């Protein structure tokens, strides 16, 4: 296959003495362009500008490189939802921060490409979906813990906080993630409207009425 784009893109970055970072950079580009199953270790060595021996000194397999990529994804999530975000105001303000952060993540071409790769390759390599879920689930659990805390405080009434967390995220995914996954540029609805209406609908269902909240106090 006469594809010069991959080699041209890889050329400027690998001048790092075969560092793990350079190899993962090359893997990220090739995996997103071709899919995990279509890339060999030889392809990765060439794209990273390192000898095959150097590549194997750093990583024993493509799976290990992929898992290193997942650490980057996990880091992106931690940056988007930093510790303490749950304390940044009342429930509406916190949900707004979370929703906006998730939509910002969805707009990143690299994240979208990574998500597409996971969906495409997980049938042949089921461990890919499991590894990706292991990165995503802690953030969902974190949202569920926040909703459970608000329920304990008498602010919300979430009998199943994990279900509520998935419902909140599901609305955001419906408007932005899934349309982009199918090659569309999202729904023709402004992001601000999606965020505000999602929060409004969510709180209409789960906010504890003032009378009940007063009774609990």
CATH number, domain of 88, equals 1.10.357.10
97 and 203 housed in the same domain: yes
166 and 135 housed in the same domain: yes
- Rounded Cα distance between 170 and 166, Å, is 6
What CATH number is given to the structural domain containing 37? 1.10.10.60
- Rounded Cα distance between 200 and 186, Å, is 21
152 and 197 housed in the same domain: yes
Last residue of a domain, one of 60, 77, 106: 60
Read off the pTM: 0.74
Nearest 5°: the CA angle 135, 140, 143 is 140
206 and 132 housed in the same domain: yes
99 and 196 housed in the same domain: yes
106 and 186 housed in the same domain: yes
Split into its structural domains, the chain has a count of 2
193 and 106 housed in the same domain: yes
- Rounded Cα distance between 61 and 12, Å, is 24
Contacts of range 51-55, beta carbons closer than 8 Å, 24 or more positions apart: 51/18, 54/18, 55/18, 55/23
86 and 29 housed in the same domain: no
Q: What domain range includes position 46?
A: 4-60
The residue that leads in pLDDT, 14 or 93, is 93
Alpha carbon of 50 to those of 43, 72, 79: distances in Å? 10, 21, 31
For the segment 156-211, what is each residue's pLDDT rounded down to a tens digit? 999 999 999 999 999 888 877 777 766 666 667 788 898 999 999 999 999 998 65
23 and 72 housed in the same domain: no
For the segment 93-151, what is each residue's pLDDT rounded down to a tens digit? 999 999 988 888 877 777 778 888 888 899 899 999 999 888 888 888 989 999 999 99
């Amino acid at each position: 296959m006469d594809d010069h784009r991959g080699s041209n893109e890889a050329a400027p970055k690998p001048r790092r003495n075969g560092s793990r970072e350079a190899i993962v950079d090359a893997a990220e580009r090739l995996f997103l362009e071709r899919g995990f199953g279509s890339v060999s270790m030889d392809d990765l060595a060439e794209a990273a500008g390192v000898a095959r021996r150097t590549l194997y000194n750093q990583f024993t397999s493509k799976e290990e490189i992929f898992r290193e990529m997942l650490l980057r994804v996990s880091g992106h999530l931690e940056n988007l939802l930093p510790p303490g975000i749950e304390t940044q105001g009342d429930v509406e303000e916190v949900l707004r921060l979370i929703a906006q952060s998730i939509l910002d993540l969805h707009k990143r071409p690299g994240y979208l490409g990574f998500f597409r790769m996971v969906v495409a390759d997980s049938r042949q390599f089921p461990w890919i979906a499991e590894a990706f879920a292991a990165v995503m689930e802690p953030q969902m659990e974190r949202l569920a813990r926040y909703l459970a805390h608000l329920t304990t405080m008498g602010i919300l009434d979430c009998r199943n906080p994990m279900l509520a967390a998935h419902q909140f995220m599901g609305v955001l995914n419906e408007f932005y993630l899934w349309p982009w996954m199918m090659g569309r540029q999202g729904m023709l609805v402004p992001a601000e409207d999606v965020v505000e209406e999602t929060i409004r609908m969510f709180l209409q269902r789960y906010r504890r009425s003032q009378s009940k909240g007063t009774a609990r106090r």
